[in-house]
Amino acid sequence: MNRLVPTISPIYQDALVAIARILLGAILVAHGLQKFFQWGIGGTAYSFQGMGIPLPRVAAVFAASVELFGGLLLIAGAFIFIAGVLVTILMLGAAIFAHGDARTLFIGDGGAELVIVIAAGALLLAAYGPGNWSIDRLLKGGAFTN
């Protein structure tokens, strides 16, 4: 037995995964809402054009949609593999195009730390699943169990 890694009961594991999904999803939803309703797709596309992002209007719709709907899917634990992969791809694009010329990793100085952390969280959820307290679990014919 490895004493450095405590054994966590399944109910706590599921609670921690659900909390992580909700936190990550909430960040994404907030950014998606910002792109759709605060900046608008036109404003987001204009910003993307200034960053040199190809097809800025298409990219703006894609980014806003993946953030909003991908975030909602993560919160619900639904279609977690697809949502996680799309969010990861989007965040890697953001790291390259929006933060690629930064000379630091830190977000306060224009670095990509936030989008890298979001990508890592989404990738982990895609790889390991949403836990038992999720829509995916219900769609597989199970109930919320532990």
pLDDT at 81: 97
User: Taking the C-alpha atoms of 40, 43, 47 and 52 in order, what is their torsion angle to the nearest 10 degrees?
Assistant: 90
What CA–CA distances, in Å, run from 13 to 20, 108, 146? 11, 33, 9
pLDDT tens per residue, the chain (146 residues)?
A: 567 777 889 999 999 999 999 999 999 999 999 999 999 999 999 999 999 999 999 999 999 999 999 999 999 999 999 999 999 999 999 999 999 988 899 999 999 999 999 999 999 999 999 999 999 999 987 666 55
What CA–CA distances, in Å, run from 39 to 35, 43, 100, 101, 109? 5, 5, 22, 23, 22
